[in-house]
Amino acid sequence: MWKMWKELRVVGGLARQQGTALQTMPAVHRLFSSSTAQTDSESFLIYDKDPAPAFMRDDVQRLLKSITRLELEKVFRKRSVKDNTVEYRFMTDEQLRQELLKSIGEAQHMLQMPPVVQEQKDSCAVISKDGALKALSTSKFVFTDITYGLKNSQRSIVVRHPDGTLQEAPYEMRKRLNQIYFPLTGRSIHQPPMFEHVHLQRLLEEGKYEFVLDRACVQFEPYEKEYHQITAKVYQHINENRSFDALRSTRHFGPFAFFLAWHKLIDDLLLDMVKQDYLRNGIELIVLFSTLHGTTLEENVKQIALETQMPNLFDAPEKSIDELKQDEQFLSIIEQFVNEHATKKVQLNLAVQAYREMATEKLRLAEGIRRMHGES
């Protein structure tokens, strides 16, 4: 096994020596193996700088949580085996309110977003070179600190090479040894076949986005190259097929919206929000875009987006007159953003126009009903 590892290192060294001949290739190709099909849009899959400071901001977190939309029925749904049993309880109004608050707290905990951080570079620093140990053995020796209570990232793992060099272990070796000594539930020592291109593409075509992302969170750390590669593929496939409801009200919708906003790809998501009457979420998406890219936005728009809102657990039969008037304000903000920054201006303007006509008709009807009832 160690001979095979040595041969792989030799091949890797040769590949690095030939790297100067590939400088004209886009940097994004480093994220994919030679067996992965290349697409024109893969240039959007790399964060050009560390996204963690922006993602961890309090205002950005509030926007992403609101955009996710908390739907209790979806959060607490049965995923694998359907359970047909129903439990009925008789409650007072106060008990019902307490149960709802408890469910909201549990749902918010379940919707905790995976962090978005920069890809970690493998540094294998040389600790020492001991010539006296040269040729002592033809195999490498790996030393692992198995002290109880240490985090895997803090654990010291070093490799003694046959030439006497003592070096920090590469990340893949660290991860494998940590999994052997301190196994994490659900994580495999080797990458599961489902993440291979053929199987992954089939899962994406079947729309099993949440399953793939959940499994990626278990198998990889957020700073691993493979995690960035897989999540980017999933996000891009969802955006291309406009399958936004597949992730909405899951823990992955926030990072997905952040990914689109970072790469200026929010047009389709904004269009979906307008069509589904999620105008406030549309404003929040625009504010997120402005926060990440520094575009000009009126202060009152940011205040509207950052207002604390109680999760809408029950769909109201009809909007009130005040809500319909507020929708008109939202439409004006969206229209301004579309004209200044959107790339799919025609589709978005048509959607805004259709919504405005419908909202105007509803407002006229609501005001007519109020006058009929003698209300001012």
The residue ranges of every structural domain in the chain are: 126-169
Tokens 């359907």 correspond to what residue?
82
Contacts 24+ apart (CB under 8 A), 242-245: 242/268, 242/272, 243/207, 243/209, 244/268, 244/269, 244/272
The predicted structure's pLDDT at residue 7: 45
Question: Which range has the top average pLDDT, 46-55, 145-154, 258-267, 322-331?
Answer: 258-267
The predicted structure's pLDDT at residue 81: 55
Q: Average of pLDDT values for 14-22?
A: 41
The answer for 195, left when phi > 0, alpha when psi is -120 to 50, beta otherwise, is: alpha
Between the CA of residue 103 and those of 69, 210, 311, what are the distances in Å? 14, 22, 12
The predicted structure's pLDDT at residue 79: 66
The dihedrals phi and psi of 129, each to the nearest 5 degrees, come to -125, 110
Question: Which range has the top average pLDDT, 84-88, 247-251, 372-376?
Answer: 247-251
Split at pLDDT 50, 70, 90, the class of 365 is: confident
Tens of pLDDT, residue by residue over 139-187, are: 999 999 999 888 888 899 999 999 999 999 999 999 999 999 999 999 9
Q: Is 307 helix (H, G, I), strand (E, B) or coil?
A: coil
Burial (CB count <10 Å: 0-12, 13-18, 19+), residue 259: buried
Residue type, 35: S
Burial (CB count <10 Å: 0-12, 13-18, 19+), residue 208: middle
Q: What percentage of the chain has pLDDT greater than the value 70?
A: 83
For the sheet with 157-160, list strands across it. Answer: 126-129, 165-168, 157-160, 141-144
The answer for 264, left when phi > 0, alpha when psi is -120 to 50, beta otherwise, is: left
Q: Rounded to whole angstroms, how far apart are CA atoms 344 and 348? A: 6
The predicted structure's pLDDT at residue 24: 35
More confident site: 322 or 373: 322
The predicted structure's pLDDT at residue 122: 85
Q: Rounded to whole angstroms, how far apart are CA atoms 16 and 104? A: 52
Among 30-34, 197-201, 307-311, the minimum mean pLDDT is found in: 30-34
Q: Which of 107, 54, 52, 97 is nearest to 250 (CA)?
A: 107
User: Is residue 323 predicted with pLDDT exceeding 90?
Assistant: no
Q: Rounded to whole angstroms, how far apart are CA atoms 186 and 326? A: 47
Q: How far is CA 359 from the centre of its chain?
A: 33
DSSP 250: S
Split at pLDDT 50, 70, 90, the class of 42 is: very low
DSSP 133: G
User: Is residue 232 predicted with pLDDT exceeding 90?
Assistant: yes
Q: Is 150 helix (H, G, I), strand (E, B) or coil?
A: coil
Counting Cα atoms < 13 Å in the Cβ hemisphere of 41 gives 12
Among 129-133, 276-280, 352-356, the minimum mean pLDDT is found in: 129-133
Q: Average of pLDDT values for 231-259?
A: 96
**In sequence order, what are the residues at sequence separation of 6 or more whose Cβ sits closer than 8 angstroms to the Cβ of residue 59?**
291, 306
